[in-house]
Amino acid sequence: MDLTYSPAERTFQRALRTWLKRNIPKRQRDERPMEWGDPRRLALAKAWQRKVHEAGYLALAWPPEYGGQGADVMRQTIVNEEMVRARAPGLVGLMGVQMVGPTLIQHGTEEQRRRHLPKILTAEEIWCQGYSEPGAGSDLASLRTRAERDGDDFLVNGQKVWTSNAQFADWMFCLVRTDPEAPKHAGISYLLIDMKSPGITVRPLVQMTGDAGFNEVFFEDVRVPQANLVGGLNNGWQVANATLAHERNMLGATTRTQQTFQSLLRLARTHGRGGRSASADPVVRQHLADLAIRVETMKLEAYRQLTDSLRGRPSGIAASINKLVTTELNHDLARTALDILGSYGPLGRRDARVRDRGVWPLDYMFSLGLIIGGGTSQIQKNIIAERGLGLPREARPGR
């Protein structure tokens, strides 16, 4: 494992730092996804992504013919780290850039790539993920939304649930049942659906953060051209899993967790407790030491995976490890912050005594959702046990 950057990578990193210093809009620093429900903020978030793309810092590993630079994963890692370090706003089109985009490069037709990839990069079109249904979450292959062939189209009927961003998405990558007679994994297809199609109804669901980040989506005789099928009829399970691996890597990104840990340490040093700083309390110190070990282990595992990737070794169960470790750690960091804050923890953003602009209770609630989304921790543990450690298979289909 070589942890040093080459001279060319250091030059790239310096140029990026300068660009970020000049270009991050102050008002958008540390912006959180839950703020995109507001149309003005959504427009600003799209403008930010476009700017990042035009500067050449988005999707670096994509092939040049689709708007990337064919760069190795090291450059993309430098970009990810520097964005977090500079407190850049999040990317509103992340499901496009990190999930459906790479899937189309791998499994899409040339026409689908030319039609969708440019608008994914510029954030002109935002995507949502139509996988989960009532009764099909962890057991995703039980999904029942039907797509029947009708001339050159499919007719889609059914319901999705927990669909993040559907309230403002332009497109959905969606799993549908195209062969009800086949074994359940074999009768599924992967469709690209225009969210403006007649027959689609989106109903927001309010989460415990108070925001409506995800939705129910209903389909009633929705026409979808057969040209929007990805990876072939009844081959959707394979395509869906390619997207899921990208999603788990996205949710398992480690840099923000490292930064959150630094914020937690600052809080512990500066927040008073019993006449001294919280970090002087032996019980708090023990928690912090435990978290420090977990953060360090996570970081070294990320470097190990980066080395594997640069040497062309298969990634195996890495995405599941990242997702499990990082999302649980994020939640424990926020929980420790709330323990330290005690009765100051739940104060609202506008309260004069609030710490860190009230992010900790929001992080606590939001991070709990990410332990569930993209496949729960229990499902990741099953995958790691069966595919990584070679333990006997559980009698279940699994997500």
Ligand X SMILES: Cc1cc2nc3c(=O)[nH]c(=O)nc-3n(C[C@H](O)[C@H](O)[C@H](O)COP(=O)(O)OP(=O)(O)OC[C@H]3O[C@@H](n4cnc5c(N)ncnc54)[C@H](O)[C@@H]3O)c2cc1C
Q: Contact with ligand X (CB under 6 A): which of 62, 131, 171, 237?
A: 131
Q: In whole angstroms, what is the distance from residue 176 CA to residue 245 CA?
A: 19
Beta strands 188-194 and 229-230, pairing class: antiparallel
Q: Does 297 bind ligand X (CB under 6 A)?
A: no
Among 253, 299, 376, 388, binds ligand X (CB under 6 A): 376
Is 118 a binding residue for ligand X by CB under 6 A? The answer is no
Beta-bridge mates of residue 156: 147, 222
The residue among 91 and 341 lying less far from ligand X, judged by its C-beta, is 91
The smaller minimum CB distance to ligand X, of residues 215 and 336, is found at: 215
CB of 379 to ligand X, least distance (A): 6
**Residue number, 67 or 375, with CB nearest to ligand X:** 375
Binding of ligand X by 214 (CB under 6 A): yes
Alpha-carbon span 392 to 157, nearest angstrom? 37
Q: Residue 137 or residue 231: which is nearer to ligand X going by CB?
A: 137
* 67 vs 236, beta carbon nearer ligand X: 236
**Residues forming the active site:** 247
Comparing CB distances to ligand X, the nearer of 128 and 267 is 128
Answer yes or no whether residue 323 interacts with ligand X by CB under 6 A.
Answer: no
Element (H, E) at 277: strand 276-277
Concatenate the DSSP letters of all residues of 198-258 into one string: TTEEEEEE--TTS---EEEEEEEEEEEEGGGEESSTT-HHHHHHHHHHHHHHHHT--HHHH
Residue 75 or 160 with smaller CB distance to ligand X: 160
Give the 3-state secondary structure of residue 17. helix
Q: Is residue 137 at the binding interface for ligand X, with CB under 6 A as the rule?
A: yes
Residue 102 Cβ, how far from ligand X at the closest point, in Å? Answer: 17
Strand partners of residue 155: 148, 223
Q: Work out the number of other CB atoms within 10 angstroms of the CB of residue 71.
A: 17
Judged by CB under 6 A, the stretch of 66-74, 107-115, 281-289, 375-383 that binds ligand X is: 375-383
In the chain, what's the furthest Cα-to-Cα distance? 75
Comparing CB distances to ligand X, the nearer of 77 and 320 is 320
Q: Which of residues 232-261 bind ligand X (CB under 6 A)?
A: none
Positions 37 through 96 that interact with ligand X (CB under 6 A): none
The residue from 362, 372, 384, 385 that contacts ligand X (CB under 6 A) is 372
Q: Output the smallest distance, CB 49 to ligand X, in A.
A: 18
Phi then psi dihedrals of residue 283, to 5 deg: -70, -45
Instruction: Tell me which residue of 105, 161, 103 sits closest to 131, measured CA to CA.
Output: 161
Measured CA to CA, the distance from residue 172 to residue 166 in angstroms comes to: 8
Contact status: 164 vs ligand X (CB under 6 A): yes
- Among the candidate windows 131-139, 289-297, 310-318, 347-355, which touches ligand X by CB under 6 A? 131-139
Q: Does 393 bind ligand X (CB under 6 A)?
A: no
Which residues pair with residue 82 across a beta bridge? Answer: none
Binder of ligand X out of 101, 102, 158, 375 (CB under 6 A): 375
Q: Which residue is nearest to ligand X (CB)?
A: 137
Among the candidate windows 151-159, 325-333, 336-344, 376-384, which touches ligand X by CB under 6 A?
376-384
Round to whole Å and give the CA distance between 272 and 279: 9
Q: Is 382 in the site for ligand X (CB under 6 A)?
A: yes
Buried b (16+ CB within 10 A) or exposed e, 125-158: bbbbbbbbbeebbbebbebebebeeeeebbbbbb
Answer yes or no whether residue 173 interacts with ligand X by CB under 6 A: no
Q: How far is CA 332 from the centre of its chain?
A: 19
Assess 129 for contact with ligand X (CB under 6 A): yes
The secondary structure of 147-210, three-state, reads EEEECCEEEEEEEEEEEECCCCCCEEEEEEECCCCCCHHHHEEEEEEECCCCCEEEEEECCCCC
Q: How many residues of this chain interact with ligand X, rule: CB under 6 A?
A: 24
Binding site for ligand X (CB under 6 A): 128-132, 137-138, 162-164, 214, 369, 372-376, 378-379, 382, 394, 396, 398-399
